[in-house]
Chains A and B, each alone.
Chain A
Amino acid sequence: GDSVTQMEGPVTLSEEAFLTINCTYTATGYPSLFWYVQYPGEGLQLLLKATKADDKGSNKGFEATYRKETTSFHLEKGSVQVSDSAVYFCALSPLWAGGTSYGKLTFGQGTILTVHP
């Protein structure tokens, strides 16, 4: 079945440091890939997504590129801020119709990011 593996956390950085959170996936076909972010005490919200190979998703200074050859979707940001402290989830959703997977998001285990001033 489908699966998503994220780098183990937690990750602790100083403000303005470079961030990378690794994400690799296993899936049938070519799924859509997502990064969701969960701020303390809140639900998940979409950070960015990519729906086909070589697409780059970007939002709020974060970027991730859909790499089919390495089945990866690593999240990067050039300069993190204290307000970026949150839990980050990589997820995939299959594109094909039919079966019990249709529409389902498969999540990685989440990476806790803490940014210090």
Chain B
Amino acid sequence: EAQVTQNPRYLITVTGKKLTVTCSQNMNHEYMSWYRQDPGLGLRQIYYSMNVEATDKGDVPEGYKVSRKEKRNFPLILESPSPNQTSLYFCASSPSAGGRETQYFGPGTRLLVL
């Protein structure tokens, strides 16, 4: 089954404790990105990757890191989480970065930073 998977689905952590949210897709997609969803703000892009070893900042990159060492994986790293990073996070992928492409979303990771 073609899908985007994220782990964990739920995470409670404390301020400053490094964490990684994994994202993997099995569709051989080139383009991957991370979004955060906050009430009243919709989804905002954090980072994106056009292909392996090619990543760049989105609209809200502060406090986050990413890497793209393999085509299928695109982990999101919070090196020192803060309470304002409490949010619902989605990973997405598409065949390419073309504007007509449909993006496929993972199920989401709900993060609470205390």
Taking Cβ atoms with an 8 Å cutoff, the residues of A that contact B are 4, 31-32, 34, 36, 42-46, 49, 51, 89, 93-96, 100, 102-105, 107-110
Contact = CB atoms under 8 A, between A and B. Distances in A.
Contacts of B99: 31-32, 51, 93-96, 102-103
B25 to A, nearest CB: 12
A93 B94 CA distance: 12
Contact of A107 (B31, B43, B108): B43
Interface string B30-62: 010101000011111100101000001111000
- Chain A facing B: main interface SS: loop
A51 B99 CA distance: 8
A104 B45 contact: yes
B86 to A, nearest CB: 18
Chain B, interface residues (CB within 8 Å), range? 20 to 34
B90 A105 contact: no
A96 B97 CA distance: 10
Contact of A103 (B43, B59, B94, B106): B94
A31 B50 CA distance: 19
10 contacts: A4-B42, A32-B100, A43-B105, A94-B99, A100-B56, A102-B99, A103-B98, A104-B45, A104-B58, A105-B103
Given A100-B57, A103-B50, 10 more contacts: A43-B105, A96-B99, A102-B97, A103-B96, A104-B33, A105-B43, A107-B44, A108-B42, A109-B42, A110-B42
